[in-house]
């Protein structure tokens, strides 16, 4: 697999899905993860209502628990928001920031995403920083430039292998069933690698770059085999243990 020197990461973003009964799916993921120990890192990012319960259930297992978003401030009068410190306290080890749905529906800018990544680091969490272009931007030939600008603006200085994961998610591929060609993915991931190495030196060689956008068992092996693809950020397919584990199993 590509990126042999970097331990692959397959993270599931459950988005606004999951109730108490979803703990049975987590239990199945935890059970299946035993067979993948040492081969791939597995992470589940449930909604905030399940975060603490999932963290307790996953303690001491091969599955790590992450969060889907955070506020940039550590505390304050921000009704409905959660700080990175709160997520850490609930048991999260990482937090997704800058997902395209946050950028689109909540109008988050690169500066907003950067502030949230800094908050994650402040709390001792790994920041999974999402970047990606729209269909119009790709059709206009601006995909590489757009993603480069997002990385420059969204990723803070002092990034390390431990505190940063970058997830490339072409916006037009999220939840649509559409995926870019392996050649498109290779071009973008190569560009991202070049960008982080240029900026962070040797650390940039070790920073993991995930692909996200309609990843499913049927296309996972092809996508995960592309150079500089170090795993996946999985959406809908992560809600079912069988599908999520099948994607991770390409690293066996």
Q: How far apart are CA 222 and CA 94, in angstroms?
A: 27
Tracing tokens 């970047």 back to the chain, one arrives at 131
Which residue's structure tokens are 């199945």? 28
H-only helix segments in the chain:
23-33, 48-58, 84-90, 100-105, 110-122, 135-139, 143-154, 182-200, 202-206, 217-224, 241-248
| Averaged pLDDT of the chain | 96
Is residue 5 within 8 Å of residue 15, measured between CB atoms?
no
Q: What is the pLDDT of residue 174?
A: 85
Spatial distance between the Cα atoms of 150 and 111, rounded to a whole number of angstroms: 9
Residue 2, pLDDT above cutoff 60:
no
Catalytic residues: 99, 169
pLDDT in tens, 33-56: 999 999 999 999 999 999 999 999
Residue ranges covered by each domain of the chain:
9-251
| pLDDT tens, position by position, 63-101 | 999 999 999 999 999 999 999 999 999 999 999 999 999
In the chain, the percentage of residues whose pLDDT exceeds 90 is 94
Confidence of residue 4 (pLDDT cuts 50, 70, 90): very low
| 65's tokens | 């628990």
228: left (phi over 0), alpha (psi -120 to 50) or beta: left
Other C-beta atoms lying within 10 Å of the C-beta of residue 24: 10
Query: Can you tell me the mean pLDDT for 165-191?
Result: 93
Please tell me what DSSP assigns to residue 46: -
Question: How many CA atoms lie within 13 Å of 32's alpha carbon, on the beta-carbon side?
Answer: 20
Query: Regarding the domain delimited by 9-251, which CATH topology (the fold level of the hierarchy) does it fall under?
Result: TIM Barrel (3.20.20)
Tokens of 157: 């200085």
Cβ atoms within 10 A of the Cβ of 31, count? Answer: 14
Are 84 and 123 in contact, with CB atoms under 8 Å apart?
yes
For CA atoms 124, 62, 237, 177, the dihedral sign is positive
Q: Quick one: how many helices (H) and strands (E) in the chain?
A: 11, 8
pTM of the model: 0.96
At residue 234's C-alpha, the angle toward residues 20 and 15, to 5°, is 40
Taking residues 217-238, report their average pLDDT: 97
Query: 108-159, pLDDT tens digit by residue?
Result: 999 999 999 999 999 999 999 999 999 999 999 999 999 999 999 999 999 9
């Amino acid at each position: 697999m590509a990126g042999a020197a970097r331990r692959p990461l397959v993270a599931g973003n459950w988005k606004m899905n999951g109730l108490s009964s979803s703990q049975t799916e987590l239990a199945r993921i935890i059970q299946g993860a035993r067979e993948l120990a040492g081969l791939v890192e597995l992470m589940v990012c449930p909604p905030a209502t399940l975060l603490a319960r999932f963290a307790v259930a996953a303690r001491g297992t091969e599955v790590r628990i992450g969060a889907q978003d955070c506020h940039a401030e550590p505390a304050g009068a921000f009704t409905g928001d959660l700080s990175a410190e709160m997520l850490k306290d609930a048991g999260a080890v990482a937090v997704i920031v800058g997902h395209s749905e946050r950028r689109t529906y909540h109008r988050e800018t690169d500066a907003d995403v950067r502030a949230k990544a800094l908050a994650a680091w402040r709390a001792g969490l790994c920041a999974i920083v999402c970047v990606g272009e729209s269909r119009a931007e790709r059709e206009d030939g601006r995909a590489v430039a757009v993603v480069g600008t997002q990385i420059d603006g969204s990723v803070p200085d002092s990034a390390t292998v431990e505190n940063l994961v970058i997830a490339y998610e072409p916006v037009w591929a999220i939840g649509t069933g559409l995926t870019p060609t392996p050649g498109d993915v290779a071009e973008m991931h190569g560009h991202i690698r070049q960008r982080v190495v240029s900026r962070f030196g040797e650390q940039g060689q070790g920073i993991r770059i995930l692909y996200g956008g309609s990843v499913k068992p049927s296309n996972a092996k092809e996508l995960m085999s592309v150079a500089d693809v170090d795993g996946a950020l999985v959406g809908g397919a992560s809600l079912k243990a069988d599908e999520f584990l099948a994607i991770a199993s390409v690293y066996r």
